[in-house]
Amino acid sequence: MDNKTLLKFSIVIPAHNEEKYIEETLKHLKEIGYPNDFYEVVVVENGSSDKTYEISKKYECENFKVFSIDKKGVSVARNFGAKKIKENSDWLIFLDADTHLKKGFLDDLNDFLIKNSSKNYVVGTTSLLPQKNSLYAKFWFKFYDISHILLHASLSIQIVRKDVFYKVWYDENLQYTEDWKMMKSAEKFGKFFFIWTNKVYTSTRRFDSVGYIKQLMLFIYWGILPERYKRKVNYEVIR
């Protein structure tokens, strides 16, 4: 580790009514195995009516910061968190509150970005594994991985170079596909990347609630719907 070039990562987690999930996510980030001086975690609790903020505050330390704001909206929370990171950070990782990064993930990401530094990668994502140990869930997640590669989209985690993010931001008026819009906007400044990994796991709560096939149809529907209509509909929160 001492002889490696280390990039600095800022992990921003929007958290609205996430008391069931946020603690495990933060536990994994505490145990990620990357030097504390080279990564930070910024949790932004926004408009919760549960104990998300209180639970998150238990993990606050030199490189874990927790903020609370009144305004709801995942893009609002992400943009707020991006304004609170350290000035010397190299990359932003926007992580859903129910997504776990396993030990060694930041080392792998660091190695990938250093190895490919000449390719002008500016935004990307990773493969995902379901927290539920189900062959059915694993099949569908693999399908979504391939979809993300083809569409340059993401689910649960977006990774973007800091200087590029400050040129694009998340659209706070969009209720759907705001992450896709940010990533497509970032591609104006460089290339998209996708990393296969066995160290990123996310909850299946939305798929369990809505159904995998129905959720796929909804993703397609919202993907092709004109942006002016997406701004008028409230995102369905599932907890």
What DSSP assignment string belongs to 175-216? Answer: SSSHHHHHHHHHGGGSEEEEE--SSEEE--HHHHHH-HHHHH
- What token pair was written down for 62? 């030199």
Average pLDDT, integer, range 185-207: 94
pTM over 0.85: yes
What's the pLDDT at 69? Answer: 97
Residue 58 has pLDDT above 50, yes or no: yes
Residue 1 has pLDDT above 50, yes or no: no
3-class secondary structure, 125: strand
Residue 54 has pLDDT above 50, yes or no: yes
Residue 82 has pLDDT above 70, yes or no: yes
Tens digit of each residue's pLDDT (9 = 90 or more) over 210-230: 667 776 676 665 666 566 655
Contact 201, 21 (CB under 8 A): no
Mean pLDDT, the chain, rounded, equals: 91
Tens digit of each residue's pLDDT (9 = 90 or more) over 84-110: 999 999 999 999 999 999 999 999 999
* Better-predicted residue by pLDDT, 139 or 205: 139
Domains and CATH numbers, the chain: 9-230 (3.90.550.10)
- What token pair was written down for 25? 């996510």
Q: What are phi and psi of 31, to 5 degrees?
A: -105, 20
Tens digit of each residue's pLDDT (9 = 90 or more) over 165-191: 999 999 998 877 899 999 999 999 999
- Please state, in angstroms and rounded to a whole number, the distance separating the CA atoms of residues 6 and 12: 19
